[in-house]
Structure 1
């Protein structure tokens, strides 16, 4: 049975179970609503819970004010990114960055990525919706409910403000509420990235212009995993070790290692740095799975940049989870401010239009901005399809 057949069967089985549960009266009374391929779980009477955070009113007010400016910057970045990317597709195709919707089991298929995604999304949504809720309560806007939902395989979290009170609020108040979610996601991404900043692998995510402030020049290959029990793993090498020489020849980067032609079934000396201690091991090569005429050492790795501050190296699973948490949170923070329905950026832009644009022109400006944002967003998806077709992440 192929992947997509298993996916369809699992999908239908999951939703069949959810539908049966949704018909049970105890779950209905607790706020569970189920429709075909859609469910939402609502918690009512949430105002008192979020009011507890208002004892830090000065902090909430300060962060909300910063969020207004951050929201404008994020909106500008989202529009610039999509516009610049389309121009690159037209005039410099090699620099075009593919844009793909993150849809679990469809565009996101790798088991580890799915684990990181489903572990990250609840944290991102909780932070995002808590920020909306706390600022809404600061502005005196009541909350009708809060909860989570699932449409097919797309997860959503929400707080539901009183619609009449939200519409009656001043534009500045609505802007503060709407910007809070994305701003909180940027804060989350920044804090998580700060935990990773001196981890060796994180150097690869840093712009080359910034990297020297935190890391030295490349000095080896950081072992991230093994694909064979032969080779280096058989002589005691571990994930986190740094390979820096073979037969006395320096290996300063992954490119150096890939360019090196090793004989098959030959014993070579390999320089390894383990926890700062240098040692030499002797290992017998075996045929490279991708090129039987070349010898292999059985490792996956990345170029190693020594951090200026030595910190304990995280387990790879923890590093990978935190990296994807920061990445997904930053993506949500930035592109949620695109001025396009149903993103928060649309409400932010509409509040600005209401405040600064004459009423006679407001509808025209609003539809023009939405249309332009839709063209940018759809244009990037179409350009990606034309360049690469359907390709999972």
Structure 2
């Protein structure tokens, strides 16, 4: 709880200082509102034209267009599924899907915050770059670009030239919008094997055997081995899997163990194991830097999958909303399409908020 109070104090102090000096920050192209800061600058008109106008990138755009609409359907379907499940779920059951807001210290550990912020920054930056690439691909100039901070969450944006965008064809507009949506799906697929699959293969990542507990009066206890120590070598053999540990213990009655302690130092102990049992509870040892990498990729997947699905849903403020509007304008005409799109997006937004409310109500 003390960490939460400290985090809130730092958060409020930071924004108070930023707001007090907002006038002085204007000369650096910074616009400050309560808990919101925006930096906007004139951007290059065309982004990497050799790449964005290549055949390969235009194939991506052609694939991204239908995928964008499929993700829109997936977003709406997910929201409706959450509502149905939450209304029909029995008390004390665990829902398969729930919409939980990210609130450091409450819904997630504060220790996860750096990984989340980095994942958001990378994801949003690449998302906006692909909007800019598709604008260039479709001969629409980019007017401005910038970054923002909303509370603690970073963001980025590019602004196509409004006249160029409005004069472009509906297909061009849809491609520009869909390119950003679908690249988040691509990033999610790239991050997936590094996030959820690799942790289930600890033997491939293990660099030793971590001791989690010691049995009283066991050979390990008598040899002053402690929880937190890592078995690195036994009789000169590097041990990284449980099968190697069992094999070596059953092979010898006396083992010479090299241990790595929590402070990083190494020591050697000789242990008699007449029953071939060390008397320890163990798991795989994965170094901190590997855990950090896997944690980042886990959040990279979560952030990008969420963006791909919910940013594609037509919720007024999303790319899916823009996609939906351009589609209805093409089908129903400029005026009617935009008006109907606004009403439908307002309805979907209310449904989305209702799904979040249901996901966070007590079930017991």
Answer yes or no: same fold by TM over 0.5: yes
Residue 87 of structure 2 is aligned to residue 90 of structure 1: yes
Aligned to 1:134: 133
Aligned to 2:198: 199
SS of aligned partner of 1:5: helix
- Does the Cα contact within 8 Å between 1:86 and 1:96 map onto a contact in 2? no
Residue 308 of structure 2 is aligned to residue 370 of structure 1: no
- Does the Cα contact within 8 Å between 1:231 and 1:298 map onto a contact in 2? no
Q: Which moved more, 1:332-341 or 1:168-177?
A: 168-177
- Does the Cα contact within 8 Å between 2:146 and 2:158 map onto a contact in 1? yes
- Does the Cα contact within 8 Å between 1:46 and 1:143 map onto a contact in 2? yes
Q: Which residue of the other structure, out of 306, 329, 340, is the alignment partner of 1:354? A: 329
CA distance in 2, matches of 1:235, 1:151: 43
- Does the Cα contact within 8 Å between 2:209 and 2:230 map onto a contact in 1? no
- 1:222 Cα shift? 11
SS of aligned partner of 1:47: coil
- Does the Cα contact within 8 Å between 2:210 and 2:230 map onto a contact in 1? no
How do 1:93-172 residues align onto structure 2 when only pairs under 5 Å count? 93=90, 94=93, 95-104=95-104, 107-111=107-111, 113-172=112-171
Unaligned residue ranges in structure 1 (runs of 5+): 204-217, 249-279, 286-296, 303-313
SS of aligned partner of 2:135: helix
- Distance change in 2, residues 1:129/1:247 (3 Å): closer
- 1:355 Cα shift? 0.8
- 1:36 Cα shift? 3.2
- Does the Cα contact within 8 Å between 1:131 and 1:181 map onto a contact in 2? yes
Instruction: Tell me the TM-score normalised to structure 2 length.
Output: 0.73
- 1:102 Cα shift? 2.3
- Distance change in 2, residues 1:199/1:96 (3 Å): closer
- Distance change in 2, residues 1:315/1:354 (3 Å): same
- Does the Cα contact within 8 Å between 2:328 and 2:341 map onto a contact in 1? yes
SS of aligned partner of 1:379: helix
CA distance in 1, matches of 2:75, 2:211: 38
CA distance in 2, matches of 1:197, 1:227: 23
**What is the CA deviation profile of residues 12-34 of structure 1, one whole-angstrom value per residue up to 9, with x for unaligned ones?**
2222443466544xx64442222
- Does the Cα contact within 8 Å between 1:15 and 1:37 map onto a contact in 2? yes
- Distance change in 2, residues 1:283/1:234 (3 Å): farther
Q: Which residue of the other structure, out of 33, 36, 45, is the alignment partner of 1:35? A: 33
Aligned to 2:74: 77
CA distance in 1, matches of 2:160, 2:201: 39
**What is the CA deviation profile of residues 206-263 of structure 1, one whole-angstrom value per residue up to 9, with x for unaligned ones?**
xxxxxxxxxxxx9xx999977669656446169x944469999xxxxxxxxxxxxxxx
> Alignment length, in residue pairs?
317
Q: Which residue of the other structure, out of 36, 41, 55, is the alignment partner of 1:58? A: 55
CA distance in 2, matches of 1:194, 1:247: 29
Residue 187 of structure 2 is aligned to residue 188 of structure 1: yes
- Distance change in 2, residues 1:84/1:226 (3 Å): farther
Query: Which has the greater radius of gyration?
Result: 2
- 1:369 Cα shift? 2.4
- Does the Cα contact within 8 Å between 1:146 and 1:159 map onto a contact in 2? yes
Instruction: Tell me the TM-score normalised to structure 1 length.
Output: 0.68
- Distance change in 2, residues 1:142/1:163 (3 Å): same
CA distance in 2, matches of 1:107, 1:167: 42
SS of aligned partner of 2:188: helix
- Distance change in 2, residues 1:233/1:150 (3 Å): closer
- Does the Cα contact within 8 Å between 1:38 and 1:149 map onto a contact in 2? yes
Aligned to 1:8: 8
**What is the CA deviation profile of residues 72-94 of structure 1, one whole-angstrom value per residue up to 9, with x for unaligned ones?**
11111111111112111222443
- Distance change in 2, residues 1:246/1:236 (3 Å): closer
- CA-based RMSD: 3.8
Aligned to 2:303: 328
CA distance in 2, matches of 1:202, 1:371: 45
